[in-house]
Each structure stands twice: as structure tokens, then as C-alpha cells.
Structure 1
Amino acid sequence: MNMSLTTTDLKPTNEQYIENGFCVVETPALSHEIIASFDELPRDCHSKGRLRKIRLSQYFGYFEDNEWIFGLLPKRRYIQSPEYIKLKEAGGVLRYREQLTIDPFPLMSCIMQELPIDTGDIFHLNVNQIRVIANEEYRGITVPEGPHRDGHQFSVIGVAARENVVGGETQVIDPNTGNIVFRYELKENEAIIIDDERYVHYATNIEPEEGSTGYRDIWVIEINKWENRAYGPVHEKRARGLELC
């Protein structure tokens, strides 16, 4: 496989990303089946202090004959290094996630089309489907870990639906100065792609606009070249600070 990056290898990419290290893109309209699937998400058993529902599936992806091909990877527990995630319940903790029940391939293809990547490479993608709920009992905490990196090459946050909520502003932050370099309230069927190696990101809390309950349905997609994948036993040992055999 040719691993060198040339202009002929580059897919058409969003100029804003190349210039700034982030960009907002439109994502495909969702089918009624996908919209309804957010109602069936199981509660996040690792986030008892918040009312968050979640599923996760992990994929490999490659580009062939002018299209992206994706394959579902065997289910493993999800883990992020405490180097990036300081939250006690999450950083370095193997977390259980049920897999997606819907097909996210059109969304994944849309995102991959926007990235400045070598299409000769193979990629690993985590696709998180999440509902954050705000009501009288639970605050709508969008990002419990606070401003952070995820420890990936690209971090993507997309909005599927906003129902009776205010807030949820996405912020891109310069880690060296702490300054917010970009802030935007993503609309339905919009996503922001962020250079996770360059920036910290955050999203403000949500609260009901009227009445007692509202929610925000989101996608969080994490992308790495396959050789840097956040998947498998070696990644899990590194994230837990264990010695490799």
C-alpha cells in the first residue's frame, strides 16, 4: 500500500478545515427509523449522576472504487486514556456499550469525504449515538468531563435533533491560551469536525426551553488511521496504564 500523501490521493475537503483545523458540515437527513432509534437508547450505566442514553459501534473503513466501505468490528468495551479524560468514572475505565441498531454508513461516508486524508489508508471509527436529557431531576450536562481532547486524530460532533432545549453551544478552544476560537450552536443535521490533536472542545449544558423536559440527540464520531486505532487489547492496556507484552 502506498502510504505517501500526494495531491492525487487527497479527497475534496472543506477549505475551512484545512485553514483553521475545524469546520462545520451538513450531514445527511435522517430516516424515520434512525430518528425513532434515539427513543430506544439504553441509559449510560457509567453516568448515574446524569440522564444520558447511549449506544456505540466501532468500524474499520477504507476507500475503494470511489466509495467508502465500512465493516463492523467485534464488540469490545470502550476505554479512553486518563491522559485525555480526567473524569473519574470515564478515564482509564473499561465501559460497556450496546451496539447501534441502525446503519450509520451514510453519515460516516459524509464525514470521511470532508477529511484531508490519504484514501489509501485504512481507518478506525467509533460512532456514538447519544441522547442528553434535561428535566426537573437531572441537569442537561452535555460534556461532564469539561473542555477536553478525546485522544484521536479527528473528533466529530453532530446534532440529530434538538427538542425543547436551549444551550448546547459547541466550543473549539486553543489549549495554549484557553481562548475560545470558535463557538456555534449546531443545528439539526449539522456536524463539526475538529483536529483533536490541535484543539480542545466543549459543549455547554442544555436546559428545557419550556416546561420540564427537553433533549439533544447527538453523534460523536472518533476517527484514527488504523495503525493508531483506539480499539483492541493493545489500546485497552495503554489506556489503563498496563505494560504491553
Structure 2
Amino acid sequence: MDGLKFTLGNARHDLLRDSGDWDKFSRFWEDLPRDPCMGDGGTYRRRKHSVISYNVADGTVASVDQDGFLQSKEINRLNGGIVRRFEPVDQALLDTAVFRLLLAQFVPRIAELAPAGEPSAPVRRINIHQHRIVATEREAGKPTPEGIHRDGVEHIVMMLIARKDVTGGVSTLHDNTESPVLTHTLSDPGDYIFLDDRTGLHSVSPVRVAPGAVEGYRDMFFLEFC
């Protein structure tokens, strides 16, 4: 597989056409619990996680039983090698019009990034991650505390939900030698990077509280296609 494969866009503009449903969707980031599994002892990450299956033919979604979230040490040098357990994503989020439209739009686009001749799976297994990275005067937030990495899946949607009172949070895509290929800031709600995880790596710079603010945050939504 040659070269880093990715696309950029804004889901609110390109897919949702500034639908009023976005506000209902983004409210699900207001009650995320603190991530209890941070190898660096950080208290800056809030998150929920679930696994679903998505039937491409009829658009049905089903929850998949999962006994925790596991990544290898090779994939995640900080938090890999242990089973991590998080609160599941709210079913009400999975029922939103925004979430269903995102699936209907991104799943067919996997074929655009896949190698020629690769068959399209009739049912996709998808990891869903909600993150809030908090920055305070005492502690910067680290969106990728493991550093330059890949997630160990096929494709990833990395989508900004909100930024408030923070600086930083600059995304960099790297080739498989860790050389930077693209630096890009997700700045507007709905901005996304759609990446073939097998073709490269990614990282994000720390977020710091903006001057004059006491606390800020960066909210992200991730769809990982396995």
C-alpha cells in the first residue's frame, strides 16, 4: 500500500448541511466521565466507548458485547497491554439523526481509500469513542499522550465536536517512517480527518488553556472501522 491516504472535510457543511440536529448531538459530550486508565497519571481526559456493528445493506446498528478495550503495547506505548473499561456511549446518541447520517456517509467512502480490488464488508465493526480533553492553568491536555501512533484499525474518522478556550490541538499526519506529511488544525465543529490507518500515523499537539481563561476543552468524536 503506497502513500498516506486521507481526506479532509466538515461534516456539518458537507453531510449535514448545518442541520439543527447538531446541537442535540453535541450535548452528549457534557457528561463524560474521567478516563481512569491514563498511564501518565493525567486527569485531563474524559471519555466513553462502545463497539457496534453496522449493516451496510439496511443501515441497522447493533451493540457488540465487548469485555473492555485492548490495544497492544506496540500500538499504544502508554496505555496498551492492559484491558481498559469505560462507560458505554449513550444509546440516545446512537439513535440521533446525526450519528446515523455519519455512518451512511462514511461507510461507503471506505472504498475510496481502500486498495483496488479490496472487497467491501457487508457488516462493519466500528469502535466509537467520545473524548473531551480538558486544559487548566495547572495541567495541559494531551489528545495523543502516546505520541505518534496508529490505532491498529482500517480507517478512522477523527471529527471535532467543539473547542472552547484552548490553544494548540494541532493534528499531524505522518508517513510510516514518522515523517510529517500534513499539519492541520480542526477548528470548526464538524471538521474531520478521514484516514486509512494502515497507511500512516498521526499525532496531536497538547491543548493549553487560552489566555484569560481558567479552563478549556477540545471535544472529539472517533469512528474506527475494524
> How far 1:77 sits from its partner (Å)?
0.4
Cross-structure match for 1:184? 184
> How far 1:71 sits from its partner (Å)?
1.4
Cross-structure match for 2:139? 138
| Structure label with greater radius of gyration | 1
Contact 1:75–1:99, Cα closer than 8 Å, also in 2: no
Would you say how many aligned residue pairs link Structure 1 and Structure 2?
A: 202
Contact 1:136–1:212, Cα closer than 8 Å, also in 2: yes
Contact 2:4–2:199, Cα closer than 8 Å, also in 1: no
Q: Give 1:179's aligned amino acid.
A: S
Does residue 34 in structure 1 map to residue 25 in structure 2?
yes
> How far 1:75 sits from its partner (Å)?
4.1
| Post-superposition CA distance 1:112-155 (Å, at most 9, x none) | 13211644532110010010000012211111000001111112
What SS does structure 2 have at the residue aligned with 1:108?
helix
Contact 2:34–2:43, Cα closer than 8 Å, also in 1: no
Q: Distance in 2 between matches of 1:19 and 1:148?
A: 16
Q: Give 1:181's aligned amino acid.
A: V
Question: Is there any run of 5+ residues in structure 1 with no aligned partner, and where?
Answer: 1-17, 225-245
Q: Distance in 1 between matches of 2:77 and 2:3?
A: 30
TM (normalized to structure 1)? 0.76
| Post-superposition CA distance 1:7-49 (Å, at most 9, x none) | xxxxxxxxxxx98501113224553332222110111011241
Question: Is there any run of 5+ residues in structure 2 with no aligned partner, and where?
Answer: none
My pick for the range that moved more, 50-59 or 68-77, is 68-77
Does residue 108 in structure 1 map to residue 103 in structure 2?
yes
Contact 1:131–1:218, Cα closer than 8 Å, also in 2: yes
Q: Distance in 1 between matches of 2:103 and 2:172?
A: 22
Q: Give 1:22's aligned amino acid.
A: F
Q: Distance in 1 between matches of 2:214 and 2:47?
A: 22
Q: Distance in 1 between matches of 2:127 and 2:141?
A: 23
What SS does structure 2 have at the residue aligned with 1:140?
coil
> How far 1:192 sits from its partner (Å)?
0.6
Correspondence 1:86-235 to 2 at 5 A? 86-87=77-78, 90-101=79-90, 102-103=93-94, 104-116=99-111, 118-176=119-177, 178-186=178-186, 187-210=188-211, 211-224=213-226
Contact 1:62–1:119, Cα closer than 8 Å, also in 2: no
Q: Give 1:108's aligned amino acid.
A: L
Cross-structure match for 1:241? none
Contact 2:33–2:48, Cα closer than 8 Å, also in 1: yes
Q: Give 2:5's aligned amino acid.
A: G
Q: Percent identity?
A: 24
> CA RMSD of the aligned region, Å?
2.0
Contact 2:3–2:175, Cα closer than 8 Å, also in 1: no
